[in-house]
Amino acid sequence: MVNPSKIDEGGVQYSIGQFDGKTVTYDFNKILIYLDAKGKLLFGKEFKIYDDDHRVIFKLCNYFIKDEEMCAKNGIDPNKGILLTGPVGCGKTSLMRLLRHIVPLQRPYQVIPARNIVFGFNHIGYKIIEDYGDGQFYCFDDLGVEPIGRHYGKNCNVMGEVLLSRYDLFLKANLKTHATTNLSAQELEDMYGNRVRSRMRQLFNLVAFDENTNDKRK
């Protein structure tokens, strides 16, 4: 039997809780130890988990392990995706790349920079929007700072169209979408318009870093 409370990384087995054969009782402190180790493997030995980020990480962990009680306390709907916001360099992308590893039995999502999708549109056109309206799970990284798409002389707000497609998938098949952004709610509305912003409220749980969080890349 697979034990989802044990994860092997780099020849070391990490325990992130207790498994009774049916359910896992997770231990946040043990999860932090695992995330620190996995982060160093993914991003290099300089990676570290900062104490100031524990609040955000705790919310995200409860979401990914599907702790319904703690999600309810934090106003998180486990059926929606995550929109992780915060200032440049606070670690949003790293966390979204990292946290999917604490639930190895769950279906993984791909982290895709929003600008790459726009570049794809510029090259092959509207097929790229269809491609991301498929049955896969995605996390769109750096949402809202990508350029406007342009294909054969026609402009297109590519990510706005992709989000509308993802919203339709959410309604039809409860297919989750995640994203990270540096922008505020008003800036997102300015970028995508009121209709898309309204859909985003239904697609995403908003989880935010403090606006004064330091740039960890400096």
Q: Which two tokens stand for residue 168?
A: 């339709």
Tens of pLDDT, residue by residue over 12-49, are 999 999 999 889 999 999 999 999 999 999 999 999 99
pLDDT score at 211: 83
* CB half-sphere exposure, 20, CA atoms < 13 A: 5
In a domain, 12, yes or no: yes
Residue 205, classed as helix, strand or coil, is strand
Do 124 and 28 lie in a common domain? Answer: no
Do 86 and 28 lie in a common domain? Answer: no
Can you give the three-state secondary structure of 12-74, one letter per residue?
EEEECEEECCCCEEECHHHHHHHHHHHHHHHHCCCCCCCHHHHHHHHHHHHHHCCCHHHHHHC
Tens of pLDDT, residue by residue over 93-150, are 999 999 999 998 888 899 999 999 999 999 999 999 999 988 899 999 999 999 999 9
- Judged against a pLDDT cut of 80, whether residue 214 lies above it is answered with no
Residue of 217 and 159 predicted with greater confidence: 159
In a domain, 218, yes or no: no
In a domain, 202, yes or no: yes
Do 153 and 190 lie in a common domain? Answer: yes
The enclosing domain of 200 has a CATH number of 3.40.50.300
Do 198 and 157 lie in a common domain? Answer: yes
Do 100 and 32 lie in a common domain? Answer: no
Summarize the confidence of residues 87-91 as an average pLDDT: 89
Domain carrying residue 108: 70-208
Summarize the confidence of residues 191-198 as an average pLDDT: 94
Distances (CA, A) of 174 to 17, 29, 50, 80, 150: 28, 31, 33, 8, 31
Summarize the confidence of residues 173-199 as an average pLDDT: 94
